[in-house]
Amino acid sequence: MNALALRLDEAQQRATAIEQLAEPLNIAEAYEVQTALLALRLGRGEALTGVKMGFTSTAKRQQMGVEDLIFGVLTDGMAVRDGGTTDLATYVHPRVEPEVAFRLGKTISGQLTAEQARDAVDAVAPALEIIDSRYQDFKFSLSDVVADNCSSAGYVIGSWNADPAAIENTNNLGMVMSFNGRQVQSGSSAAISGDPLQSVIDAARLAGEIGQELPAGSILLAGAATAAVPLEPNSEVTLEVQHLGSISFRTEDS
């Protein structure tokens, strides 16, 4: 299992794709590889900042041909500052997705009611996720992508909004993502499992299933509202989320 984590870690660090796994893993084994990958990042001095949900929208499930919800981990080494720049040479074949992020005010794990999930969130923000499969052609099975930490590569979070009304009303916000002012995706936060808050419930359940908890202070990326779009060099990527504001980052290619 660790050998697999080392291969995926090296692929990420060298920004070079590897072949799909020859031996199929079961989901529990795939999450073990993900945990080993995180240990390698922590060993390099990175800190865990949160988790992300994946395949929460029909658009994403159709784009990637997979059916189940997945979750991955985020570290400070993946954070891109709002208004900052990221170098495309550090990724294999990066794509970007429009998302919503929550910040947890309470530690959660296992089954939560909708009310408990809402209560565990202390702020909400617009977010962009940069995903980058370490597999050739961005192709994978469900367990392959889980082992690859669900393609996690980068994320940008906007200003946190702690207004209880904002947290309560994330279920139908208009979202527009643009490259250099040209709209590339638009949709609604309703595409994220009907309501992005559902991702808090699902993340707590999935963490509980593998004996983990999501600590207070964690960031939770709720999942993409639309299909992902390949990043292009020298672009300004912006996301505008109704009521929550806009965020952006620039791409360069060294």
Choosing among Mg ion, ligand OOG, none, which partner's interface includes residue 79 (Cβ < 5 to 8 Å by kind)?
A: none
Q: Which stretch binds Mg ion (CB under 5 A): 64-72, 116-124, 126-134, 158-166?
A: 126-134
Q: Which stretch binds Mg ion (CB under 5 A): 65-73, 94-102, 154-162, 192-200?
A: 94-102
Residues near ligand OOG (CB under 6 A): 52, 54-56, 60, 64, 97, 129, 131, 133, 145, 150-151, 223-224
Residue 117 interacts with Mg ion (CB under 5 A): yes or no: no
Between 58 and 234, name the residue whose CB sits nearer to Mg ion: 58
Between 52 and 103, name the residue whose CB sits nearer to ligand OOG: 52
CA-wise closest residue to 189 among 240, 148, 231, 151: 240
Choosing among ligand OOG, Mg ion, none, which partner's interface includes residue 32 (Cβ < 5 to 8 Å by kind)?
A: none
State which of residues 9, 82, 129, 202 lies at the interface with Mg ion (CB under 5 A).
Answer: 129
Q: How many residues are given for the chain?
A: 254
220 Cβ partners below 8 Å, 6+ apart?
A: 50, 51, 52, 53, 101, 102, 103, 104, 199, 200, 203, 214
109 Cβ partners below 8 Å, 6+ apart?
A: 204, 207, 208, 212, 213, 214
DSSP strands (E only) in 26-120: 48-54, 70-75, 85-87, 95-104
Cα 235–Cα 240–Cα 243 angle in degrees, nearest 5 = 165
Q: Closest distance between ligand OOG and the C-beta of residue 29, in Å?
A: 18
Residue 224 interacts with Mg ion (CB under 5 A): yes or no: yes
Q: Closest distance between ligand OOG and the C-beta of residue 151, in Å?
A: 3
Q: Using CB atoms, what's the residue nearest to Mg ion?
A: 129
The three-class DSSP label of residue 236 is: strand
> Among all chains, which residue has been given the structure tokens 């720049």?
85
Name the site residues for Mg ion (rule: CB under 5 A). Answer: 97, 129, 224
